[in-house]
Structure 1
Amino acid sequence: MGADDKIRNAGEKVAGKSKETAGKLTDDKSLEAEGKMDQAKSDLKQAGEKVKDAFKKD
């Protein structure tokens, strides 16, 4: 996983967490769900990068 990918994924996760928190504070279920989805997408991207890295080492 390249450093730029790690930074981008971490940024997406932080942005998702911020959206989720803002949604909770404002009682905006849509924003909260969007934040959770952003975090999940970031986790999936990170997992995909780890799989690619595992195959590159062989």
Structure 2
Amino acid sequence: MLHYAIVFLVIALIAAVLGFGGIAGAAAGIAKILFLVFLVLFIASLIMGRRPRA
């Protein structure tokens, strides 16, 4: 999941350098969403991993 966020971030940066605003905006939006999903899953896995086994 983090891999996809990084890929879309790189695409957005390349598109921004080339001046394609619509493509850059869309790729940056996807990268932000994937980053937030990754962050939530990471925090959830940290919390679930620290629970004592029943």
Please report the TM-score for the alignment, with normalisation by the length of structure 2: 0.70
- Is 1:15 the counterpart of 2:4? The answer is yes
- Distance in 1, matches of 2:30 and 2:52, equals 33
For structure 1, which runs of at least 5 residues remain unmatched after alignment? 1-11
Give runs of ≥4 in structure 1 deviating > 4 Å: none
Please report the TM-score for the alignment, with normalisation by the length of structure 1: 0.66
For structure 2, which runs of at least 5 residues remain unmatched after alignment? 17-23
Larger Rg: 2
8 Å contact from structure 1 (residues 16, 35) kept in 2: yes
Alignment of 1:1-58 (within 5 A): 12-27=1-16, 28-57=24-53
Give aligned pairs, total: 47
